Amino acid sequence: MSLNVVSLVGRVGTEPDVRYFESGSVVCKLTLAVDRRSRNNDQPDWFNLELWGKTAEVAAQYVRKGSLIGVTGALKFDHWKDRTTGMDRSQPVIRVDRMDLLGSKRDSEQPVAAGGFDEF
């Protein structure tokens, strides 16, 4: 048995970068700052997120830099060859399956969920 599940809650560090493809697919990339549980919490941990489909569209419409969100997904690694040095490079990315909007102008309302549900 194997398991690859990542759950994070944090603040969005960049405006969503949304790309639409001729095939009809849509991808949204953004970064997430997550405070580490420690006494010397000077710097957050930063994560690169990748959202696809309806979840990406919801993020494009409602998520902004500074938004508080919760995500669940899987860890993957993007691999490429550096154009200037020719060296192999890699970067960890969280492939988001579910996103919850936790903070908004109307914090008293229920969080909006995206991904894995039929409500959108």
Domain contains 84: yes
**Cα 13 from Cα 30, distance rounded (Å):** 7
Based on the structure, what is the number of domains in the chain? Answer: 1
How confident is the model over 12-30, as pLDDT tens digits?
Answer: 999 999 999 999 999 999 9
Beta strands in 4-119 (DSSP E): 6-12, 17-20, 26-34, 45-52, 68-81, 88-101, 112-114
Q: Which of 39, 57, 49 is nearest to 13 (CA)?
A: 49
Residue 27 domain boundaries: 6-114
Give the mean model confidence (pLDDT) for residues 32-50.
Answer: 85
Q: What pTM did the predictor assign? A: 0.78
Domain contains 120: no
How confident is the model over 65-120, as pLDDT tens digits?
Answer: 999 999 999 999 989 888 888 899 889 999 999 999 997 555 434 455 555 544 43
We report the CATH number of the domain holding residue 60 as: 2.40.50.140
Q: What is the pLDDT of residue 106?
A: 52
Q: What is the pLDDT of residue 105?
A: 57
CB 5 within 8 A of CB 72: yes
Domain contains 119: no
Domain contains 51: yes
Helix H or strand E encompassing 56: helix 53-62
